[in-house]
Each structure stands twice: as structure tokens, then as C-alpha cells.
Amino acid sequence: MANLWGRHWTKRELLERVGDIRQIADVRKSVLADGNNTGVEVFDFTTGSGFAFTVAAGRAMDVVAASYQGKALAWRSSVGDPHGSFYDPEGLEWLRQFFGGLVATCGLSYAGAACTDEGKKLGIHGRIGNVPAKRANFGGYWEGDEYILWASGVMRESGLFQDELELQRVISTKLGANSFTIRDKVVNIGWHTAPLMILYHCNYGFPVVADGSEVLTPAVKVTPRDADAREGAETYFRLHEPVKDYREKCYYHDVNAGPDGRTAIGIVNREMGIGGYIRYRPEQLPRLIQWKQMGQGWYTCGLEPANCLVEGRDKDRATGRLQFIEPQEERVFELELGVLASQEEIAQFEAEVNRIRG
């Protein structure tokens, strides 16, 4: 049953009170029509609880924005939601297309820093996040007393004499929910073994990210990426006011899994009683990167479940971390992202994180 406004409702009880369930919860398709956003298809979800998020079919079915009862959850960059046709693969040019957002997908055959791998020049974070979805669709349906809202699409990173990978994505939520799930299937549709690098760049922003906010993960070990991150590493989990000319810091978290095979990570603002969380399976995504960027305007903290690190495909290959996907092989990745909407929920989540850490 749907949990709305302090009570549970059956399908019959709700439908007796509305002409259309979209009066309470909906997913709507629209097309952006302004500047470099022109032509980007989006799906806007509202669940009835005050939780809302936008999925950009024109940008790999990524979650470009999210909010809860008027409070933003995701950091948004100044670039807006540019059409994927503006993508430039060279060097750091990917950043000119980086909207931030609650989920920006990086991959599929490479992610992380720009590098040269086996003689091939690779830009930062790969191509898939700029690929528009094919067969993009959406809808809603009743499953007993639960009303399910969903959107789906298929993206391909492929080309003649190139790796040929397909990402099949379904995003779903429920009437009354404060969360959604992503179910991704990556398929090697080609006939040669291909590198597989996938990273979910989940970028939290103000007011979830604020002075006094904390990162919560069941990490048994936290490793700074470089000299910048080693400076102040003892407070990797503590967020603070924006700082002029702040140099980004990255930390690698080795996290445990709980009894159900999932781990739980998040960022909480205890003072405001708001937070965001992610649950996923370390078996599928064995790496977790924390991106701490406390600069003015560039004020975000990213939590990034991945199957790789972010130093470049050449380094993952050299260290034996690089994963591969065989011809016609399929890999599934599942994540749940949601809101911590009260002090009580924050306390319960922190207890869950501590139990998983053991």
C-alpha cells in the first residue's frame, strides 16, 4: 500500500478519491527547448510524498536533478543540461557537458582520468553519459495496492572497429516513495572482448551538503588518492563552508556488504534533518570513490560506486584492476537512491551503516 500523509492507502481508497492517479503521482515526458539544452528529452517523476526527480532520456537516462519537499538533493553545475551532440571526447572537455546531477553515468569502455592506454588517447569519464536513449519509454501500472512509475531506455557505445557495448536501463519508483531504483544491464553486443569500466557519479549538493554535514560509509579503510587528499585526510567525512580556490580531494573507501549483499552509503545534514543515501552491491561495484569539492559554486560531495578507480584505464590495466566483458556477455548493476527525511531516519541509517561496518 502507498504510504502518504501519515497513513497507508489501498488502490481502491485512492481511486475513489481521484479522477486520475496522476493527480497524486506521475511521470511526464517533455522536451527541453532552450539554448544548448534544445532537443533533450526528459521524464519528470513525482511520487506524491514530496520527492521529485528528472531523468534525461537525452543524456543516457541519467538523473539530472532531484529534490524533496523543495530541498535540492543534487548539485547542479552551470552548464545546464546540454544536448549530447555537443560532447567533445578530448582531454577534460567532458567537463563542459557535466551537469552534475544525482546520477551521471561514466563509462562504458573507459572512465576516470584522461590517459593514453595501449596507444589510444582517452578523455575523462567516457562517452556513455552523452548518448541519447533509444526506445525511451515510460509509464505507470498497478501491482496490487502498489502503483509503480517507471522509465526505460537503451544506449549504445559502439562503432566500426570499436568496442560495442549496450546499456539497458530501467528506473522505477512507487507512489508515496522517497527513493528510486536503477537497474542496468550492460551487454557486449560485439564479437571481441572489451574493457568494462562503469562509475555512477552521484553528486550531492546544498542543503544536503553544508557546513557540518557528514559522509557516512561502512568503510574499513579509506585511502587518499594523492597529496591534495592526504592533506586533511583525517576529516575526509566532514563537510564545511565553501572555500575559495579549493583543490578537489578524492578518497577510496573499502566498504563491507550487509547480510543481504548490499552496502549503504550517504551524506547527512543533521541540523536540517535531511540526507541522501545509496544502497548497492559491492559484488557488482567493488570500488567506492568519494569526491570532495568544497569550492565556491563548485560545492558538492560525490559518492561514486564503480567497478574501477579514477586514475585512468592505463593504470587500472597495469594494476590488474581493469575488468573485461566477453562477447555477448551481460552484466547487471543495481542501485537504490533515496532521501533521509528526518532526524529519526538519519539515526536509523547511521545505525545500519555501523552494523554493516561490523
Long-range CB contacts (< 8 A, 24+ apart) of 78-83? 78/297, 79/36, 80/35, 80/36, 80/37, 81/32, 81/37, 81/40, 81/42, 81/56, 82/36, 82/37, 82/40, 83/36, 83/37, 83/38, 83/39, 83/40, 83/58
pLDDT at 353: 98
Question: Residue 161: which pLDDT band, with cuts at 50, 70 and 90?
Answer: very high
For the segment 21-40, the average pLDDT, to the nearest whole number, is 96
Predicted model pTM: 0.97
Question: Residue 356: which pLDDT band, with cuts at 50, 70 and 90?
Answer: very high
> May I ask the CATH class of domain 2-357?
mainly beta
What tens digit of pLDDT does each residue of 43-101 get?
Answer: 999 999 999 999 999 999 999 999 999 999 999 999 999 999 999 999 999 999 999 99
What tens digit of pLDDT does each residue of 148-160 get?
Answer: 999 999 999 999 9
For the segment 214-242, the average pLDDT, to the nearest whole number, is 97
- How far, in Å, CA of 198 to CA of 13, rounded? 43
Q: Helix, strand or coil for residue 108?
A: strand
Question: Residue 188: which pLDDT band, with cuts at 50, 70 and 90?
Answer: very high
Q: Helix, strand or coil for residue 141?
A: strand
What tens digit of pLDDT does each residue of 239-297 get?
Answer: 999 999 999 999 999 999 999 999 999 999 999 999 999 999 999 999 999 999 999 99
Structural domain boundaries in the chain:
2-357
pLDDT at 149: 98
pLDDT at 74: 98
